[in-house]
Structure 1
Amino acid sequence: MTPAVFPYKPGLELELHRHTPPDPFGSHNMIPYGRCTERLWNVYCNAPDYWDENRIQFALEYPPIETKPPVAKGGRLTMTAKFVVHRVIEQSQRSSGGPTLLEGKFYRDRRFVRNAMAKVYDGVFYSVEGGYGYGYDAGHPDPMIQADLDYSIESAAYEDIQTAGHCGSFTPQYYGSWTFSLETNEDGVTGTRQVRMILLEKVEGAQTMAEVIRKASTKQEVSWYSGSDGWVLDRERLPPVKDRLKVLKNLLEAWDRIWWDAKVSHYHLSPEDVLIRQDNTVAIINFEQATVYSWVERWGEPGDMQAYPDHPRYAKDAPSLQPNPLCLHWPFVRCSWPCRSPLVSAACWSHLPPIRKSRWWQWIPEDWVDNPELAAIWLLETFKSADPNIYGPLPDSFLNSSEQKGRDLIKLLENLGRKKSTSI
């Protein structure tokens, strides 16, 4: 498709109206693409020059999904507002297109309310290259639907996290879902199109873990077959180990509480998705690929195989307390479903070439990379006294697993209830 001029420049004023997102669809057992297949078919049938079509023209012909307008409860819901763009943080969070992140000022009734972040789901700036895949890398035959998919999932995730009481702590504050009109006059194409967005807290003084790592790295020229992306990390330029471990502890706790209390799994967490505050607490962001379990479609009998297993809180014998972080992040377990722990990723894939390693290995202490037992010892020391009002007891299957080999590690586990060993 013919590229469009990027409109989100400093000084742009967006008149916002409250908007009800579509139900989340198209990912991880949530409502499938099925309801959109007729539209996707029409895209191909009615646009013979699809790959040459102007992106703006396509957006006007295939607008975002319409929903019923939100209802103000007791007159307390702000229905209109204004957002003034200050700067563009991220034009696309992925090389193949995606949401746009803006920093700006939020106004209500012509009065300044707060600095905020706007995440804009504008399908005009999503990838269509590759055509037939539904992922970011493959592009999408209808980028407007892909933008709606991201919008529907991320807004649903924040709604559930907010209901669980974790917005403002484990994530930025969530200020709702909105829509705005964008006037277009480009290459002879004129019209007004609707664009969806969500509004989030601007976490003052915070930076992503990826930014911290990049500032401690140097770009070098490398050959394409070297197994490196060209960025060489200097660990001496990272924050002190004790600060990095405090961040890691806070991250694991935040991830666990969001998964258990809000029933939301981030699914593809990376250092780009972790905001580090000045006090080393964290806020997790970018939930557009999350699994929102309150919307997961369920079928069959308990125990039936599904592409994405259900949340344990929906089981007939659901536990009253969430699993201990030791069970969820134990670094000897290659598949840590349902949480896909960064600690597990760092430990399990450290043997791969740099470009294929999990990004988390750059944050953990260097001696952990080749010795996951050190990560396990840290986990035990950190979470052995986890709040019993929040976390369940360690199961025998965990304590007596044969995966634990080292003398120091087994001794620590014996202190927690592992059967005494006579072989060490």
Structure 2
Amino acid sequence: MPLWSDFHFWSPPEDPERPPFPYASVFTVTITEHVPPRPFGLPSVYPFIEPPYDTSDEHLKTLTQTELVVSCPPLEADDDTDSVVPEKPAEATLKVERPIAVEDGRGPQLVACTVTPQNGQGKPFQAVAKIFDPLYYSFENENAPHRPVATTLAADSDYSIEAAAYAHLQKTGHTGGFAPEYYGSWTFTLPIRHRGIQHERHVRLLLIEYIDGVCMRDLCYRESAALGFTEEHRLDVLARILDGDARLEHSGINQRDLLPRNIMLKLEPEAEDPLGKGRPRVVQRAVLIDYNISVVYHLAPEAWKYRKSTELPLNPIDLFWSTSLDDFGYWVPQSWQGNRRAQQEWLIERFGGQNALAYAPVSRELELDDA
């Protein structure tokens, strides 16, 4: 077995042809409707596919990232894809208005944008574009510094998995509620010059609903922020989140990353209090985002497809009985921290009794943990 000292750290070579990072600036492009490949490349869930180009470490180490992107274009959908390639794909104008989460090397880029359908197909609307641009994925491997990353394949994999998730959520009627609205998968081109020749490279993206709200993470880990909401309301919002997750699972998808960083909260506007006292804040809607490691059961291997199907969603008591909710920080009562029994008692109170009729019967013996 090789020792860590046997590995040689690798760094990408100088790449003077690589264009400056574009996603922190305002710009406008034409986007075209696109059918993504079937989901692939998620270990233990979606199989790896062999691309039509060499992704060996030895070959990648001979390339700059520009050479990799120019010589290895994005993958197209197979003939057996569930989606139908439109005879005349829709087009729209996309104007990037401001960055949301952008950084050279971070992987997918998130920007707020205005989308204007072309040919009179609709009115302009606000959206979030999630852009899978392999030129600005990290060429260095954070987990194995002696190996490069096949960024073109990584971007295609991310795109295929998230597109499959949103298409499933839309088809099953779950977008616009606990999941954001979904406006489809698209592609656009950007110019790049390599070895004196001008090329057009294709970049994939998804359009999803812009949530004018706050990331739950920003409220969970600051006590002063969480205390702007009553404990009763915080637990009501938590119950909505657990219920939403159970209903997504019942529809045939597992998001697999139910954490505050992936939940957006849309808040009621702060009202003036005539008595001059601060009124507790109120959450109108909780929205689960980020489906980059999600599993759509009917698209996954047999090990994932085999799951107990019930007429009603599983009760959150079943789903979260043994799962710590400590990651929700100050959003949950501090008496829950390290005290699973208190959390379990709340699950029974919230999802038991008459409330249990909305779910499949609880399948487990409810033995409370020691306090």
TM over 0.5: yes
User: 1:398 aligns to what?
Assistant: 365
- For residues 238-264 of structure 1, the C-alpha deviation after alignment (integer angstroms, 9 at most, x for no partner) is 533223212211111111111111x11
What is the match of residue 16 of structure 1? 31
Work out which of the residue numbers 344, 358, 367 in structure 2 matches 1:376. Answer: 344
Q: Which of 306, 311, 321 is the equivalent residue of 1:320?
A: 311
Task: Please name the residue that 2:320 is paired with.
Answer: 329
Normalization by structure 2: what TM-score? 0.80
2:157 corresponding residue in structure 1:
149
Aligned length: 334
- Matched position secondary structure for 1:283: strand
Aligned 8 A contact 2:190 2:201 in 1:
yes
In structure 2, distance between residues paired with 1:15 and 1:393: 51
Name the CA shift for 1:72/1:188 in 2 (closer, same or farther; >3 Å).
closer
What's 2:58 paired with? 44
Q: In structure 2, which of residues 253, 273, 296 is the aligned counterpart of residue 264 of structure 1? A: 253
The structure 2 residue matched to 1:211, chosen from 197, 205, 218, is 218
Give the Cα–Cα distance (whole angstroms) in 2 for the partners of residues 138 and 269 of structure 1. 32
Aligned mates of 2:229, 2:153 — CA distance in 1: 41
2:117 pairs with 1:108: yes
Give structure 2 stretches of 5+ with no counterpart.
1-11, 268-282
Select the structure with the greater relative contact order (CA < 8 A; seq sep ≥ 6).
Answer: 2
Query: 2:182 maps to which residue?
Result: 174
The runs of 5 or more residues in structure 1 that have no matched partner are: 217-232, 299-305, 334-343, 348-358, 407-424
TM-score normalized with structure 1 length: 0.71
CA distances 1:108-150 after superposition (whole Å, capped 9, x unpaired): 12764211110000111212223786xxx99862011111111
Per-residue CA shift, 1:279-319, capped at 9, x if unaligned?
Answer: 34211111011122121112xxxxxxx5xx54524xxxx43
State the partner residue of 1:98: 107
Per the alignment, in what secondary structure is the counterpart of residue 88 of structure 1? strand
The 1:360–1:130 alpha-carbon spacing in structure 2 relative to 1, beyond 3 Å, is: same
Cα deviation, 1:348-396, whole Å, max 9, x if unaligned, reads xxxxxxxxxxx323421111113222212221111113353x411123x
Separation of aligned partners in 2, 1:199 and 1:138: 35
Whether contact under 8 Å (2:24, 2:102) holds in the other structure is no
4+ runs deviating over 6 angstroms: 186-189
Aligned with 1:59 (options 69, 85, 103):
69
Q: Does 1:71 align with 2:85?
A: yes
Closer, same or farther: CA 140–150 of 1 in aligned 2, 3 Å: farther
Q: Residue 374 of structure 1 aligns to a residue in which SS? A: helix
Q: Which residue of 1 aligns with 2:173?
A: 165
Structure 2 CA distance for aligned equivalents of residues 269 and 187 of structure 1: 46
1:254 aligns with 2:244: yes
After superposition, give the CA deviation of every residue in 1:77-106 in whole Å (9 maximum; x if it has no partner).
x611111010010015xx962110010111
Q: Could you tell me which amino acid in structure 2 is paired with residue 345 of structure 1? A: S
Distance 2:181 2:146 in 1: 32
Matched residue, 1:346: 325
Q: Distance in 2 between matches of 1:14 and 1:202?
A: 19
| C-alpha distance in structure 1 between counterparts of 2:107 and 2:320, whole Å | 30
Amino acid at match of 1:312: R
SS at 1:198's partner residue?
Answer: strand
Aligned partners of 1:193 and 1:28: how far apart in 2? 28
Identity of aligned residues (%): 26
Mapped pair 1:120 → 2:124:
no
Q: Quick one: distance in 1 between partners of 2:197 and 2:355?
A: 60
Counterpart position of 2:265: 276
Letter in 1 for 2:150: D
Cα-Cα RMSD: 2.9
Does the CA-based 8 Å contact 1:131-1:138 persist in structure 2? no
Distance 2:21 2:72 in 1: 19
Q: Which amino acid aligns with 2:239?
A: K
* Structure 2 CA distance for aligned equivalents of residues 131 and 211 of structure 1: 26
Q: Which letter maps to 1:122?
A: D
Distance 1:374 1:48, change over 3 A: closer
